[in-house]
Amino acid sequence: MHSIPGRRLIMALFLIFLLLPIYWLVNMSFKTNAEIVSTMTLWPHTPTLQHYRRIFTDESWYSGYINSLEYVVINTVISIAVALPAAYAFSRYRFLGDKHLFFWLLSNRMAPAAVYALPFFNLYSAIGLFDTPWAVALAHCIFNVPLAVWILEGFVSGVPREIDETAFLDGYSFPRFFIKILVPLIASGIGVAAFFCFMFSWVELLLARTLTSVQAKPIAAIMTRTVSAAGMDWGLLAAAGVLTIIPGALVIWFVRNYIARGFALGRV
Amino acid sequence: MDKTINQKAWFLVLPVFLVVAFSAVLPLMTVVNYSMQDTFGNNQFFWNGVGWFKELLDPSTDLGGRFLASLGRNLFFSAVILAIEVPLGIIVALSMPREGWSVAACLVILALPLLIPWNVVGTIWQIFGRPDIGLLGYVLNHLGFNYNYVSNEVDAWVTVIVMDVWHWTSLVALLCYAGLKSIPDAYYQAAQIDGASRWAVFKAIQLPKMNRVLLIAVLLRFMDSFMIYTEPFVVTGGGPGNSTTFVSIELVKIALGQFDLGKAAALSLVYNLIILIVCWVFYTVMTNAGTERKAVAQGEPAAEPKAAAAPRPAGVLKPKEGVA
């Protein structure tokens, strides 16, 4: 009754469709370049780890992963920290201009990164943050903070008001109530919001590339540049690509039980 | 509804306000400022009033021609994307296994494409579609199709669309799955007792219950497909010719390639405005449709079967109208 006829077949076909291109990338990352260019093989006939070895031993490669993770983590922490109190306010209180403010926040989620690339470049150069992870982290706040507020607002609204009132009657101060009672209650929501901030910050390239040049260059930018400079080193490109998928896969595994609810932004 | 009025709540919102104001309002003001001026390098700016905006909306000029052409391509792209991904996402959500370890496995695999950096998504499809080293290109060419996304416009379009379907259908599917999960079993039991057909269950129970998440899905998919930059840029570079040059690609060409700040800024503002307006229209239309249905469902007593699609309490589900 819940699902449709032939669902196993549909699901299987769709999963194969999703996995096939990823498999091809993994497959290529274990091949030598000679094998990639000369023959069409469905699995590596002479498997090699040379591409991975190169990435893990060459600092210009592995520093890219560190840089990327650095700004993603900073961004996630900032986004959640500022979004939590705001989510509570939007969920519990009415105040002057609340609806306009909420829509204005969301409208920033609709702003194309391409629009902001150049002004961000000017802004962060002017205040001396250019080419640091902070610049990218703050820039990514423009779409992650509204999203975090939106998700967390849904989860806070799921907590009955009586809990707040009881806590205040028991003499809890507001900060203490917030940290001791509210945060544990919406822990799964915070996890989901953090997951989303991580995700959107990790996958974004345009702003990250524009706001960095040498020191804080993200792995995504290193991939594009090295490839065009060194001709086409397909194996290395594939290996770098596979390594960018891994952090995401790990994060999904941790939140897999909340993922469905999280994708509905806590609103079902 | 039961929210209390409390102006002090502003203090809780203040951090968000400051952070977003810093990273949104300041840059936006810069854009507005640039859009009224012309620059010839050396940081010299000249007042140009609304000149750029006039040029932008006039297809006979170079800027206007490029903008309107890329806008048309982008609108067509978003329409195709929505038409494929929304129904496909619903079908996939309905095909999800019910329980057991396979649920978690499916969820993880579904979410996987969403967490791949966008340029890597481009790279994956760039490799996958190449006739010499990619599985897809190789197989298609051996089956007799002359598939080459680098030189053929239609192939380039098909590649970009299939890539986007691959990348984002999971988002729609996961959202719809979340909506489906929230339907209490009692609804299905009631439908079974009434002998409702599969289609009636979908139309009278599942679709109305997915209304909210579908709104989110349509909004997110529209916004993101309209802002698409990285994936087509990596795969086709906007080509062959200009056939897959979307608005963002055109904008980055003008802003960071030619450093034509005035033109780029004017384009940015119009572009941003279009997204806002379309989102607002979607939002209003879809929420109105939802409230109207609710109003019908609440206004009519249970015995009055009028709107077939109206969500109604499980006990009074009339499956037969749903079939018609």
CB-nearest to B125 from A11, A21, A85 is A21
- Asked if A105 lies within 8 A of B16 by C-beta distance, the reply is yes
Q: Is residue B228 within 8 angstroms of chain A, CB to CB?
A: no
Class of domain A55-263: mainly alpha
What is the reported pLDDT for B298?
A: 58
Q: What is the mean pLDDT of chain B?
A: 80
Looking at the complex, report in whole angstroms how far the Cα of residue B119 sits from the nearest Cα belonging to chain A. 7
Looking at the complex, report in whole angstroms how far the Cα of residue A256 sits from the nearest Cα belonging to chain B. 6
- Identify whether the C-beta of residue A216 lies closer than 8 Å to the C-beta of residue A209: no
The token pair that represents A5 in the structure block: 């006829």
Which residues in chain B are contacts of A112 at CB distance < 8 A? 226-227, 229, 247-248, 251, 268, 271-272, 275
Q: What is the mean pLDDT of residues B276-295?
A: 74
Which of A225-239, B74-88, B90-104, B157-171 is predicted with the least confidence, judged by mean pLDDT?
A: A225-239
What is the reported pLDDT for B82?
A: 94
Instruction: Give the burial class of B303: count Cβ atoms within 10 A of its Cβ; 0-12 exposed, 13-18 middle, 19 or more buried.
Output: exposed
pLDDT tens digit string along B80-123? Answer: 999 999 999 999 999 988 777 888 888 888 888 988 888 889 88
Q: What is the mean pLDDT of residues A123-150?
A: 89
- Asked if A115 lies within 8 A of B181 by C-beta distance, the reply is no
Most confident of A139-148, B240-249, B277-286: A139-148
- Domain regions of chain B by residue span: 69-323
What is the reported pLDDT for B168?
A: 92
Please name the residues between 37 and 96 in chain B that touch chain A, using a CB distance below 8 Å: 91-92, 94-96
* Reported confidence tier of residue A97, pLDDT bands at 50, 70, 90: confident
What is the reported pLDDT for B304?
A: 40
- Asked if A4 lies within 8 A of B26 by C-beta distance, the reply is no
- Domain regions of chain A by residue span: 1-48, 55-263
Q: What is the mean pLDDT of chain A?
A: 84
Q: What is the mean pLDDT of residues A109-113?
A: 80
In terms of CA atoms, which chain B residue is nearest residue A35? B133
Which residues in chain B are contacts of A40 at CB distance < 8 A? 133, 138
- Asked if B96 lies within 8 A of A245 by C-beta distance, the reply is no
What is the reported pLDDT for B293?
A: 62
Asked if pLDDT for residue B305 goes beyond 50, the answer is no
Which residues in chain B are contacts of A22 at CB distance < 8 A? 112-113, 116, 124
Which residues in chain B are contacts of A156 at CB distance < 8 A? none
Our measurement of the distance from residue B198's CA atom to the centroid of its chain's CA atoms, rounded to an integer in Å, reads: 29
Q: What is the mean pLDDT of residues B14-22?
A: 88
* Reported confidence tier of residue A229, pLDDT bands at 50, 70, 90: low
pLDDT tens digit string along B211-256? Answer: 878 887 888 898 889 888 888 888 888 778 888 888 888 888 887 7
**Largest Cα span, chain A:** 75
* Reported confidence tier of residue B317, pLDDT bands at 50, 70, 90: very low
Q: Is residue B234 within 8 angstroms of chain A, CB to CB?
A: yes
In terms of CA atoms, which chain A residue is nearest residue B114? A199
Which residues in chain A are contacts of B275 at CB distance < 8 A? 110-112
Kindly provide the ipTM of the predicted complex, given to two decimals.
0.83
Looking at the complex, report in whole angstroms how far the Cα of residue A239 sits from the nearest Cα belonging to chain B. 11
Single-letter residue type at B319: P
Looking at the complex, report in whole angstroms how far the Cα of residue A76 sits from the nearest Cα belonging to chain B. 13
pLDDT tens digit string along B31-68? Answer: 888 888 877 666 667 777 777 788 878 778 888 888 88
- Asked if A122 lies within 8 A of B30 by C-beta distance, the reply is yes
- Asked if A15 lies within 8 A of B106 by C-beta distance, the reply is yes
CB-nearest to B178 from A118, A210, A261 is A261
Which of A12-16, A220-224, B177-181, B215-219 is predicted with the least confidence, judged by mean pLDDT?
A: A220-224
In terms of CA atoms, which chain A residue is nearest residue B193? A1
What is the reported pLDDT for B313?
A: 42
What is the reported pLDDT for B147?
A: 83
Which CATH number is B69-323 given?
Answer: 1.10.3720.10
Three-state helix/strand/coil letters over chain B: CCCEECCCHHHHHHHHHHHHHHHHHHHHHHHHHHHCEEECCCCCEEECCCHHHHHHCCCCCHHHHHHHHHHHHHHHHHHHHHHHHHHHHHHHHHCCCCCCHHHHHHHHHHHHHHHCCHHHHHHHHHHHHCCCCCHHHHHHHHCCCCCCCCCCHHHHHHHHHHHHHHHHHHHHHHHHHHHHHCCCHHHHHHHHHCCCCHHHHHHHHHHHHCHHHHHHHHHHHHHHHHCCCHHHHHHCCCCCCCCCCCHHHHHHHHHHHCCCHHHHHHHHHHHHHHHHHHHHHHHHHHHHHHHHHHHHHHHCCCCCCCCCCCCCCHHHCCHHHHHC
- Asked if A24 lies within 8 A of B27 by C-beta distance, the reply is no
